[in-house]
Amino acid sequence: MDTVLSGIRPTGNLHLGNYYGAVRSFVKMQYEYNCLFFIADWHSLTTHPTPENIQNSARTILAEYLACGLDPEKATIYVQSDVPETLELYLYFNMNTYLGELGRVTTFKEKARQQPDNVNAGLFTYPTLMAADILQHRAKYVPVGKDQEQNMEIARKCARRFNNIYKTELFPEPQNYYFGAEALKVPGLDGTGKMGKSDGNCIYLCDEEKVVRKKVMRAVTDNGPQALNSEKPEVIENLFKMMSIVSDAETVKYFDEKWNDCTLRYGDMKKQLAEDMVKVLNPIRERIQEFSANTELLDKIARQGAERARESASATLKEVRKIIGFRI
């Protein structure tokens, strides 16, 4: 069974975009692959050296993952900092990765611009830590967004280079995993493309029902249809797109016809949209609250995940040490 590894930095709460774009697919994948889902808390230190409560940030993601249906019996769910083996591999990869390569990474250049007083070595070597995350499990697939392509390229380079230098075939070259059609791009509420982490634009999985309704009612629209059967402008297209994700086909058709004959009132449509969204979100939010209240259970799940992740990583590290020539 092929191994899939996914990582997320613990920087807040999951939103509907995360859910329909990835997490819902993870739930399926855990039955088809050897899946590892981890929370990259070390990586968050590259930009936030003094986190408020890093354990709680990890627990938040963990609770939300579990609420969405990730099953700790099926998948290995763990926190990066619970697996010290990663760091040894990170060190070896740092020996074979060149300043020029790391310096060309756009995400590094962007962050360096954003935090000119803290252009630290961890930020610079973010990609080699990521390579260690992946290759310690010899993962074949990594689901990542476009912004991670350069990091993935470096992970492949680390694998290739290690194999070449030590004349081994230990590491597979990890590939970007593309979700099938079931992964959906959720538009933002402010009418600008994708749902992302900003308050006017996104609905969090943990948002209370009335917050969800309020946010939907405030979604950006326009003056309404001006001519029969006209093309929809992007903001309205987005509203329909969102409805097609959470509502049934009949409902979408009903409002689409209203658009076409110019009788659509956005208020009515948004009310319906909010209603259907709340139906999706209520059970998830309730589960988030249950899991969040049970830190003992969360910590137990994280410990169990770490145990399995360490087993997988130490098997790789044992090979690596042997190959380089260290005592094992």
C-alpha span between 140 and 149 (Å, rounded): 15
Residue 10 or residue 72: which is nearer to ligand TRP going by CB? Answer: 10
Closest CA to 208 of 133, 147, 288: 288
For residue 207, what are the contacts with CB-CB under 8 A and spacing of at least 6? 215, 281, 285
Amino acid at 231: E
Of 111, 140, 215, 270, which one is the catalytic site residue? 111
Of 74, 197, 241, 322, which one is the catalytic site residue? 197
Q: List the Cα angle 99/101/104 in 5-degree steps.
A: 105
How near is the Cβ of 43 to ligand TRP at its closest, in Å? 5
How near is the Cβ of 282 to ligand TRP at its closest, in Å? 28
**Nearest residue to ligand TRP on Cβ basis:** 7
For residue 300, indicate whether it is catalytic: no
For residue 74, indicate whether it is catalytic: no
How near is the Cβ of 13 to ligand TRP at its closest, in Å? 15
Which helix or strand (DSSP H or E) is residue 296 part of?
helix 295-324
For residue 99, what are the contacts with CB-CB under 8 A and spacing of at least 6? none
Cβ–Cβ < 8 Å for 196, 17: yes
Residue 27 or residue 135: which is nearer to ligand TRP going by CB? Answer: 135
Task: Note the residues at the interface with ligand TRP (CB under 6 A).
Answer: 5-7, 9, 40, 43, 130, 133-134, 142, 144, 148, 151
Of 74, 194, 232, 322, which one is the catalytic site residue? 194
How near is the Cβ of 306 to ligand TRP at its closest, in Å? 16
Residue 47 or residue 96: which is nearer to ligand TRP going by CB? Answer: 47
For residue 111, indicate whether it is catalytic: yes
Closest CA to 312 of 62, 79, 33, 85: 85
Q: Catalytic residues, which ones?
A: 111, 194, 197
